[in-house]
Amino acid sequence: MYRKYLPWHVDQKSRAVALKAPEKDEVIGKKIVLLNWNVHKNNHAVAWLEDFSALLHRHKPDLILFQEYQTMNRQSVLDRHSEYGYGFFPNIVWNNNRFGLINAAKSEIVDFDFYTTSEVEPIIKTPKIILETTYKMHTEEILRVINVHMINFVKIKKFLVQISQIEEALAKDDSPLILCGDFNTWNRKRMRILEQLTGKYALEDVAFRGKEHQIAPFPYPLDHVFYRKLRLQKAEVLTHIDSSDHKPLLVTFASK
C-alpha cells in the first residue's frame, strides 16, 4: 500500500531521536512484559489501533518495541497513552511523516544510543537503524534494550556491517539486556551470522512455539528476541492479529 508514495524523501538532518518521558516514572520491576512487533507502517489504521488497544488492555506491556512505526505531523499514537514514554528514531522522512523504530516504556529513559547504516536498501534508497534505550531496574542495575531493523535486499557484506553495529552495542557492558526486532534473517546464511553474534555475547534466544512467527514463504523467522541476565517466564506469538504482515511477539521475563 505504501509503495504508491515512492520515492521516499530521506532527510539526514531530520533523523534525530525524539524523547518523551512517561507521566509517572516507574523502575523496571521483577516482572517485565515485552511486546515486539513490526507494524508495517499500519499504526494509524483503524484495525491496527483496535488491536493495539486490546493488547494494552489485556497484557499491559512494560516495554513496547516497534519497527516500521509511523508518526504523523510529529505526533505518535503513543502520545495518547501518557503512561508510556518513548524514544523514536526514524530512518524515513516523507513530508511531515516519519517512519522508524520506537522503544516505549513506563520507565524513563536514562540513556540512549542509535546507529544508522551507511548503505541503503535498493529502490527506496533508505538506510536501516538500531535504537538502544536504557532503564533503571528495581535491583538498582540498568536494563539495556536494543531495537533492530536489519538491512535487506543487499549483499551479505552490507548485512555484516550492521551486525558489527549491534556488536558495538553489545560490547559496552555485561548488564541485563534485551535485543529484539526484525532481523530479516530469511536465509540460513543470515541466520547463522546472527546466531554466531548472539552466542559470542552469551545471549539466550527466546524460542517461540513451532513456526508461528515465521512469514511465508521464508524458511526462517525474521523477528527475534534475545536476552541476558533475565529469566524467561513465557513467550507467545499473537497469531490472531492480522493488522500487520508480522505477528506481535509477547514475552514475559523476570529479573534475576
| Residue range 210-234, pLDDT digits in tens | 778 888 788 899 999 999 999 999 9
Compute and round to an integer the Cα radius of gyration of the chain.
Answer: 17
Phi and psi at residue 10, to the nearest 5°? -100, 110
User: Does the residue 95 lie in any domain?
Assistant: yes
How many angstroms separate the CA atoms of 178 and 225, rounded? Answer: 7
| Alpha carbons 54 and 168: distance in angstroms, whole number | 37
Evaluate whether residue 155 is within a structural domain.
yes
Whole-angstrom distance, CA of residue 142 vs CA of residue 128: 26
Q: Which residues pair with 248 in a beta bridge?
A: none
Residue 5 lies in a domain: no
Helix (H) or strand (E) holding 135: strand 129-136
134: pLDDT strictly greater than 60: yes
Q: Which three cell numbers stand for residue 9?
A: 524523501
With respect to residue 12, please indicate whether it lies within any of the assigned structural domains.
no
Q: Does 18 map to a domain?
A: no
**Rounded-to-integer distance, Cα 34 and Cα 63, Å:** 5
164 closest CA partner among 104, 119, 222: 119
Gap between the terminal Cα atoms of the chain: 44
- Chain mean position to CA 15: 17
Mean pLDDT throughout 7-12? Answer: 50
Percent of the chain with pLDDT over 90: 80
> Whole domain around residue 235: which residue ranges?
23-255
Domain holding 51: CATH number?
Answer: 3.60.10.10
Q: What pLDDT is stored for residue 15 in this prediction?
A: 62
What is the number of structural domains in the chain?
A: 1
